[in-house]
Amino acid sequence: MKIPSCNDQDIAQLRSPSPNSRTAQYARELLEMLERVDYQVEYLQEERERTRIRHEEEVEKYRDRIDALEEEVRYQKVLLEVTSEDVDRLEVETVKQKANIKAILEHAHGDAVERQICIEELKDRIIEVIDHTNV
């Protein structure tokens, strides 16, 4: 290994930095800072891309969920319409059946009243017959 030779001028530069050596040192420091900034920029861009992908995935999940909910709402609306139509139909049928039952009850009541009158008349006649036979 060869030992570099040193002269007085080199030694003087080591003791008191010249403007050129300071500029070179500042340039090295600036290059190091620039490398760190480049690294940070790359890292932040990668992080931004990961975040964008993650957010797109979340948005897609929300869109899928919204689509499913909209489909469920459409199904529930159809079900509600069918149920409403059934209720309307049953209400009409109920009104008709009530009218039929009322007519039947009125007819049955009329028959019962007539039977009761007939029974009363028969009782009266039987009593008359018994009274005439006992006489």
pLDDT tens sequence across 5-27: 545 555 445 455 566 788 989 99
Distances (CA, A) of 41 to 37, 45, 50, 73: 6, 6, 14, 47
pLDDT tens sequence across 40-78: 999 999 999 999 999 999 999 999 999 999 999 999 999
Identify residue 59 by its one-letter amino acid code.
Answer: V
Give this prediction's pTM: 0.48
Q: What are phi and psi of 115, to 5 degrees?
A: -60, -45
User: With contact defined as beta carbons under 8 Å apart, do 13 and 21 qualify?
Assistant: yes
50/58 Cα distance (integer angstroms): 12
1/121 Cα distance (integer angstroms): 153
Residue corresponding to tokens 């869109």: 63
